[in-house]
Structure 1
Amino acid sequence: MIDSREHIVILGGGVGGCAAAYWLTATPELRAKYRVTLYQTGWRLGGKGASSRGESDQHRSEEHGPHVWFGFYENAFKTLRGAMEEHAQLGHTVGPFQTLKDLFMEAREGVFYHHNEPAGKWEPWKMALPRYAGEPGDGTPSPDIRENLWRMADHLALNLSKVGAFGPVVSWFLKMMEKILSRSVKWQEAMTCPTGIQPGDPSGWASYLSRRLIDLAGSERHWYGEPLIGRGFKLLLDYIGWRLRRMKKSAMTSEAKREVCLADLYRTCLRGALVDLLLRDETFQQLDRHEFLAWLKSHGAGFTTVKESPFLRGYYDTPFAFSNGMAHDPNNANFAAGAALRGFFRIFFGYKGAYVHRMNLGMGECVFVPLYRVLKARGVRFEFFHRVEALEPNAAGNRVARIRINRQVRLADGKDEYNPIKEVAVPHAEAPPVFWPVWPEHPMVDQLDPATLPPADDPGLESHWSTHRSSTVELYDRMDPSANGHERFDHVVLAIPPAAHPHLAKGLLEKDTRFRVMVGTSETIRTIACQFWFSDKDDLGWDTHDYFCELAMAGSGPDPFNIIIEASNILRTEATPGASHLLYLCGPISNDANEPPAGSDPGYPAREKARAKATALSWIQEKASLWPGVCLPGTNTLDPMSLYHPDEGATVEQRLDWQYFRMNIDPGERYVLSTNTAAPNRLWPWESGFNNLVFSGDWCRNSIDIGCVESAVTSAMLAAHHLTGYPTRDMIDGLQYE
């Protein structure tokens, strides 16, 4: 029977590809009009968010790196919330987890490591953020930029009171504003918080300041003109900046420096938004031509390098914002100012519920298992073991005419499709085993034709350095008259990151200048990641002042592992009963100038993994003082016997070897940077230059333009809207930030 529906081909099974499939099949009407096929290299979905379970009896969760979902991820949570509801209707669970709330835990605390160079210590600085109303993805309106300004001004005012940056000029200014606005300013003492910054009572003067900024951002109530008020507040913020800059950094205690760093960052971002976005009427996108540190300096920041401020360093570490492959070099810090400012507003002030939501499972299980099952039930066809090799244009250069794909292996006789999910039983001492649906570490060969499996020296079917193939698959544009007898497509969703485009989209880049410029200016960076399990320990000992109430989620740590997350909540899903703590570490690492071409050196990935292991073990030996509880008594040296191993009698070497290490070097694994040379050239999903091609991924323009789950989902929704009209633009959150 011939299927007369329009055929949409999705290339790539990461967040962008799977979210596109979700929205393209979201209604019965869409499913009646379109059929969707997703092509994926190897045996699992996820892209940079893929995770798997090791094949040992411990079933440990192994990630590309640590992942969290910020509270402003409205589109991502909306997508996953809908998927989980449909998942439950189909009778599925994820282990014992049935709802979205089961999959995540809220977090209010962030840690920023300050390197106290004279003392040679790394001190954890805390930022505690409030819980605001709502839940991300719950259908209620998200905070807009005016509410973000309100919240930010509250934080700034209370922080300024703590650092003593007030003076008679501030009081005089407020009295003048009272007269101009005919409104009394109620002075409020700032709340005291010895370990972090907390918001104040909205009746205080901080709310007054932010209300006036909100008025400036869009109210027409003030007949005397917004520019007058705006310039008045600009003068006030300039005065506060002058007071902050006069404070001698060298004479500050660690606590004082923490407050001044944060006050300076708040004040400068608020002043920059006031001047550039409100008074000069520029857009975030226009600000992308500036580098964020230079932009902060132009607005009078006192801390203008990532070395000076752990808050700045932590913010740069989160999107690995170091250009030219020179990881951790402060001279190469590069973050497009528009994307950085937009992200700053949304991460810290534009969220619902908690500012961070941490997963209770690996991302593969938490996100991609329910998405896969729901999409399968909707009729999406998944073609695993299909590596895209080339997209070729038509003669006119305005359509994708043909897609060439390497079918890596064939299915076993009698099998029509590959089932990628495996159920594993995780035993627990006080309960019967729980069955978890997981992505296995390796393909399940019992479903594959043994004659087409790769040789023993192949680096793995997901690897850029694998050349294994069983046959070639060709797909043709339906409008191509030579397509007879071949699988046809009407639309293509390109959800593969740009590091692969020079190879697989070479013909398209030659035809379209804007596409070529976007890819040519795009920068990607390698990342290094590891996971350490620790044996029964009451306390890692890192929080010497008992400041923190939650599992640590830290940035600005010692190079190269700047991101440090304690993920001990995941231990309950593993068969590692002797382990009490699990640490995820990640960071950028410099490019390899001698990286061999694809397919030329099958041993290269293994050597890079060995380098990751050596780097991680050396690092944790040197930086074990971050966690005194795992050090040898009376020293700052790691006690290697504190590392978990399923065999209690394991040697030191066996314990070290048992931990998990990886180097993310493949084009699909590399992180896409938001530099001031790349961000201005990003294209919207519909701007590919080809009538039947749209983009989907965190690497194209999407109103966030920072590599993250929300960017990928937003772009997927925009791509689906362009192709089908659904979701409607009013259903897509965050577009007002462009």
Structure 2
Amino acid sequence: MPTATPDAISLSSSARPRKVAILGGGISALTTAFELTSQPGWEQSLDITLYQMGWRLGGKCATARGEHMRIEEHGIHGFLGSYYNALPVMRRCYEALGRTPGQQPLATFDEAFKPESFVLMWEYIDGKMSRWPFTSPRNALIPGDPASMAKLQSVAHWVTATADVLDALLDHHAHAYADLGLVKSAQWALGRTLVKGVVALLKSESVALHGVESALWKALDAAWNWVRDAAETLVKDNTELRRLLIVAEFLLAILRGCIKDEVATKGFDPLDEENFSDWLIRHGASVMVASSPMALNTVNLSYQYPKGDTARTALMGAGCYLHWTLRSFAYAGAFAWLFEAGTGETVIAPLYEVLRKRGVKFEFFHKVESLTLSADQSQVDAVHFAVQATLKDKHHPYEPLIEVKGLPAWPGQPRFEQLEQGDALRDGRVDLESYWSGWQPVAQRTLRAGVDFDQLVFAISIGAVPYLCRELLDAKPQWRTMVDKVTTVQTQTMQLWMNRSTTELGWDIPFQNPTDTVIGATYLNPLDGQVDFTHLLKWEDWPQDSAPKALWYFSGAMAEYEAPPPFTDTDYPTRAHARVQAQCVQYLQASMGPLLPLATTNVVSPPGDPMGLDFSLLRTDPAHPGVGVQRFNQQFWRANIDPTESYVTSPPGSTQARLKAWGSGFANLTLAGDWIYTGLNVGSVEGAVMGGRLASFAVAGYPALADITGYPASQGRA
């Protein structure tokens, strides 16, 4: 059984509540605490304290409020409909939050999360970027609803749902292009019959999802051959049908691979020594399809480029790729569920408020410096903190939240008025979240095993492990293997507030669903992802006469231009910040024409650049507007360079190097995060939530492993 079993850590056998110290304040840490406190009577058995550096929670999902209360994120965030663990956790969180509908904003899960089905992909054709709009069909499943989520728990369902999506897309296009005559041919009718036959077989309870001699394999093979033939005879010069057949070939290659590699019985892990593209091609996908936007969506969304360098070929374990991609098509309700406010307001603050109400204690301004081991190296003996700031009022906890338009929100800096060092931190513009801040701790604090904690949950991202866990790395070779193979990349993001609406900037693609917005993928690197988040403006506080009319987010990997220097090099954040600023300006000068064609200089003030953004469209302070590219200085951009901010990747060979929540090798240490072994093994909020739920199981036996969707039953033991 796991190192820390429910029997070993009984919730009722000890004379006093067991002290659980959670290190880190990201999604995984918060989920661990949420699950531990979801058990009736937990407070008689556990004493939980969460320790966090700086003044806010959220980790990579932390949100700040800047000037005019504008929302400033670490990146682009939302939930996919395939977040089978995150969606139910948030529904339960909103139920526990107890806000009053009609009197408080975002009072319920359904008010806080809205369905989204549109994705704008891009192809490079005939020397230019070409738009590829894609709308996923919706279904009747309800995210977070137990009955709906129960239907999504098996690989068999994921495979069937993927075939269902293909079937629905073919039906939609049959109606959309009936007037072309192409879809009325006997060949098209044959294809529809073949695909519907595959779907019918997959929905049969007796079908076996393995074996190349099975009826299912033969049906897939026939559909596969039809797609290949149709690509040569039906498409001709029709771009839409060509793209449809690319989608069909991609999805059928995935289904064929699932059957041939017996994923339903053998799982995804055995595939992770192979790169995703090699796996796709091995199962029949053409190089064109393997390099298409449809196939690259997964690797681009999850930044799977070595050292963040998009000039290099993406690397992602085939099992991780397949698991993520299959689930992406087996969604609850819609392809994605976007937040109605910022991540901090929609996800992090509600979790914090629920945990505070339940009795979890929070110690802000506690930066972990090291973990040290007992003499026999069997357990963690101590955790050493640098205390970054102390409270003026020793009798009351730090209150981190502010209120913006009725919503609890996270400020962009500490609430200085509560801190003894508030003036010095404000005047020095100290970033307490940066490892390179140069700020000297005001005190040291040490937690001792058996005195200050009985169980330790390490929920800090893996990028910080080499700095904080040196003794652990030396004591256990598997820790060093994990750090070497589970790699991370730096990322970058920018946000633009525009003084014209998205339609006025040239957006002309109609949406099939009223809640859809623009989610862009596979566009120009390095900021290849974009989302129109104009709906968030209502939660900001702009002067009425100069309020922006559109809000766009951009995000992407950031190549490792220089290796992270020693933390004594306090100029490093400034250099990284300037580098991202320069890259963003160059990106806007080179890429806006295809994305927002009415936003270029040649349109706004001709004659001029037909590709570059006219920077007069950026909302700036009317009293100090700036000229040309200077106006970018009043937007928001971020270099995510700190060890805890780096994105966790899934290269081939990394899965078996991941440690399990209960597999630290130290008796009193549990692990949590999207970097541990979760079964999904892809950096994401879903992976972080799974990591937190697994940590809760390791500590208290709850939730049951069978209830953590996507975690393989075969991995229940160490």
1 CA distance for matches of 2:426 and 2:417?
Answer: 16
SS at match of 1:74: coil
What is the one-letter code of the residue matched to 1:276? D
* 2:198 matches 1:209: yes
1:232 matched residue in structure 2: 218
Is structure 2 residue 29 aligned with structure 1 residue 17? Answer: yes
Scaled by the length of structure 1, the TM-score of the pair is 0.85
Correspondence 1:630 to 2:599: yes
**Residue 389 of structure 2 corresponds to residue 409 of structure 1:** yes
1:263 aligns with one of 248, 251, 263: 248
User: Which residue in the other structure is 2:538 paired with?
Assistant: 572
The letter for the 2-side match of 1:31 is E
Cα 1:3–1:444 shift into 2, 3 Å: farther
1:735 is paired with a residue whose SS is: coil
User: Deviation at 1:618?
Assistant: 1.5
- CA distance, structure 2, for counterparts of residue 363 and residue 255 of structure 1: 35
* Deviations 1:511-543, CA, capped at 9 Å, x for gaps: 122222112211100101000011133614544
Alignment partners' CA distance in 2, 1:345 and 1:332: 22
CA–CA distance in 2 between the matches of 1:130 and 1:213?
19
Partner of 1:383: 363
Partner of 1:182: none
> Deviation digits for residues 592-619 of structure 1, max 9, x if unmatched?
3343212x12122122112211211121
What runs of 5+ residues in structure 2 fail to find an aligned partner?
1-13, 184-188
Structure 1 residue 711 corresponds to structure 2 residue 687: yes
Contact 2:706 2:713 in 1 (8 A): no
- How far 1:336 sits from its partner (Å)? 0.8
Give, in angstroms, the shift of residue 72 of structure 1. 1.7
CA 1:661–1:194: 2 relative to 1, 3 Å:
farther
Q: Output aligned runs, 1:493-512, within 5 Å.
A: 493-512=457-476
* Inter-partner Cα distance in structure 2 for 1:362 and 1:162: 34
Residues 548 and 645 (structure 1 numbering): CA distance in 2 closer, same or farther, change over 3 Å? farther
> Is 1:343 paired with 2:309?
no
> Retained in 2: the 8 A contact 1:292–1:334?
yes
- Does the Cα contact within 8 Å between 1:67 and 1:363 map onto a contact in 2? yes
Query: Alignment partner for residue 469 of structure 1, among 423, 426, 441?
Result: 441
State how far apart, in whole Å, the 1-side matches of 2:249 and 2:194 are.
19
Residue aligning to 1:679:
655
Code of the aligned partner of 1:145: V
Map 1:162-561 onto structure 2 (within 5 A).
Answer: 192=177, 206-215=195-204, 227-233=213-219, 235-236=221-222, 239-240=225-226, 242-243=228-229, 252-277=237-262, 281-303=265-287, 308-323=291-306, 325-329=307-311, 331-348=312-329, 350-424=330-404, 434-450=405-421, 453-454=424-425, 459-467=430-438, 468-478=440-450, 487-537=451-501, 539-544=503-508, 546=510, 550-561=516-527
- Partner Cα distance (2:131, 2:117) in 1: 15
Which residue identity is paired with 2:219?
F
Conservation of the 8 A alpha-carbon contact between 2:55 and 2:414: yes
Pairing 1:147–2:147 present: no
CA contact (8 A) 1:10 1:495 kept: yes
| CA RMSD after TM alignment | 3.1
Structure 1 residues 526 and 642: alpha-carbon distance in aligned structure 2, compared to 1, 3 A threshold: same
Q: 1:651 aligns with which of 606, 610, 626?
A: 626
Distance 1:409 1:46, change over 3 A: same
- Superposed displacement of residue 731, structure 1: 3.0
Q: Separation in 2 of the partners of 1:160 and 1:78?
A: 31
Alpha-carbon offset, residue 454 of structure 1 = 4.7
Question: Measured at CA, do residues 457 and 147 of structure 1 come closer, stay the same or move farther in structure 2, by a change above 3 Å?
Answer: same
**2:564 aligned with 1:592:** no
Counterpart residue identity of residue 336, structure 2: V
Q: Cα deviation per residue 1:646-698 (whole Å; 9 max; x = unaligned)?
A: 42772335632111011100011110001112223112211111111111111
Residue deviations 1:388-430 (CA, integer Å, cap 9, x gap): 1111122222211111111111111444321100123xxxxxx
Change (3 A) 1:194 1:35: farther
**SS of residue in 2 equivalent to 1:489:** coil
Aligned match of 1:111 in 105, 120, 142?
120
CA contact (8 A) 2:530 2:552 kept: yes
1:4 Cα deviation (Å)?
2.2
TM-aligned CA deviation for residue 245 of structure 1: 7.5
Query: 1:552 & 1:148 partners in 2: Cα distance?
Result: 26
Give the distance between the partners of 1:32 and 1:538, measured in 2 at CA. 54
CA deviation digits over 1:108-127, x for unaligned, max 9?
111111122x242x222122
Distance 2:206 2:627 in 1: 61
Q: Give distance in 2, aligned partners of 1:616 and 1:194.
A: 44
1:148-177 deviations in Å (ceiling 9; x for gaps): 2223224445667999xxxxxxxxxxxxxx
Structure 1 distance, partners of 2:380, 2:103, is 39
Preserved contact between residue 241 and residue 302 of structure 1 (Cα < 8 Å)? no
Give the Cα separation in 1 of the matches to 2:520 and 2:178.
Answer: 20
Amino acid at match of 1:346: R
The 3-state SS of whatever aligns with 1:262 is helix
Identity across matched positions, percent: 29
How far apart, CA to CA, are the structure 1 residues paired with 2:554 and 2:396?
40
Judge conservation of contact 1:284–1:737 (CA < 8 Å) in 2. Answer: no
Matched residues, number? 675
| Preserved CA contact (<8 Å) 1:66 1:585 | yes
Corresponding residue for 1:660?
636
Matches of 2:308 and 2:30 in 1, distance apart? Answer: 32
Q: How far apart, in 2, do the equivalents of 1:525 and 1:240 lie?
A: 41
Contact 1:564 / 1:585 at 8 angstroms: preserved in 2?
yes
Deviation, structure 1 residue 214? 4.9
- CA displacement 1:14-35 (0-9 Å, x = unmatched): 0000110111111332221001
Report the Cα offset of residue 219 of structure 1. 5.7
AA matched with 1:593: E
- Contact 2:298 2:324 (C-alpha < 8 Å) held by counterparts: no
**Residues 682-734 of structure 1, C-alpha deviation per residue, up to 9 Å, x if partnerless?**
12211111111111111111121111111111121111112111122343223
Structure 1 residues 157 and 85, CA gap change in structure 2 (3 angstroms): closer
Once the two structures are superposed, what CA deviation does each residue of 1:86-139 show, in whole Å capped at 9, x if it has no partner? Answer: 2116x79996221111112111111111122x242x222122112212211111
Distance 1:252 1:639 in 2: 35
Kept in 2, the 8 Å contact 1:457–1:602? The answer is no
Letter in 2 for 1:211: A
| Equivalent residues of 1:459, 1:603 under 8 A apart | no
The CA deviation string for residues 552-603 of structure 1, in whole angstroms up to 9 with x for no partner, is: 00100111111100000101111234211100000001113343212x1212
- 2:246 and 2:193 map into 1 onto residues whose CA distance is 23
Specify every segment of 5 or more residues in structure 1 that has no aligned partner in the other structure, as ranges: 164-188, 425-433, 479-486
Measured in 2, the distance between the counterparts of 1:75 and 1:559 equals: 31
Counterpart residue identity of residue 282, structure 1:
K
| Whole-Å separation in 2 of the counterparts to 1:684 and 1:278 | 21
Following the alignment from structure 2 to structure 1, what is the Cα–Cα distance between the partners of residues 668 and 637? 40
Counterpart in the other structure of 1:618: 586
Matched letter for residue 151 of structure 1: A
**CA distance in 2 between partners of 1:368 and 1:629 (Å):** 37
Q: Does structure 1 retain, via aligned residues, the 8 Å contact 2:53–2:367?
A: yes
